[in-house]
Homo-oligomer: A and B are copies of this chain.
Amino acid sequence: MTYSVAVVDDHILLSQAIGGLVEGFEQFTVLYTCKNGQELLDKFKNPKNIPDIVLMDVNMPILNGIETTAHLYEHYPQVKVLALSIEEDDSTILQMLRAGAKGYLMKDVRKSELYNALLEVIEKGFHHTNTVTKVLVDSLSEKESPQAILKERELEFIKHACTEMTYKEIADVMFLSPKTIEGYRNAIFEKLNLRNRTGLVIYAIKNKIFVP
């Protein structure tokens, strides 16, 4: 019995190279490779193109790994998604797992670990490295994910705060009084334990609220 694998990565060379590795594994065969989530979903329209496992990158244009995984989890629950990314920050990993990924591999694993992961996902239904397990454990004790405590309007303000605009200018573009903006800022500083706007900018970038 051989299992089919689809590789999704916007870096064509990498998807081809990884596909090559997978072809080298006896029980696995590469069905096709795609450049992004949208392309993958398009392929799925033909039932012949539904693989057993999807090896999915996280950062992709158009439809990223998290959104794509969530969509697959809902509409094709039999397809097992194994994330494969250079991103190793906790929130990304958690987001992928929440979206329904059966495992998360950093791109610095060895070929043999990829093989094990594929096998385990088929046999046990999941594969979690030590790093991932740690993230999962941490997520239990830790406070709710940072983004969750911020409201929509606050997030909008934060994005503006990551520009050269003064608070007064931000107030203008958000159609609010500068004093209300101050209110947002104070609430955010309090919640996130920040001292000043610089801290807010760094926080926003670290947590991908604002992408420079």
- Within the complex, the shortest CB–CB distance from A170 to chain B, in Å, comes to 11
Contacts of A11 in B (CB 8 A): 86, 106-108
Q: Is A194 an interface residue (CB 8 A)?
A: yes
Residues of chain A touching chain B, judged by Cβ–Cβ distance below 8 Å, are 10-14, 16-18, 20-21, 24, 84, 86, 105-111, 113-114, 161-164, 166, 194-199, 201-202, 205-206, 212
Q: What is the count of identical protomers in the complex?
A: 2
A198-B13 in contact (CB<8A): no
Closest chain B residue, CB of each to CB of A20? B20
**Minimal Cβ-Cβ distance residue in B for A114:** B13
From known contacts A12-B110, A13-B109, infer whether A164 and B198 are also in contact, taking CB-CB under 8 Å.
yes
Q: How far is the CA of A164 from the CA of B14 in the complex (A)?
A: 39
Q: B111, A13: Cβ atoms under 8 Å?
A: yes
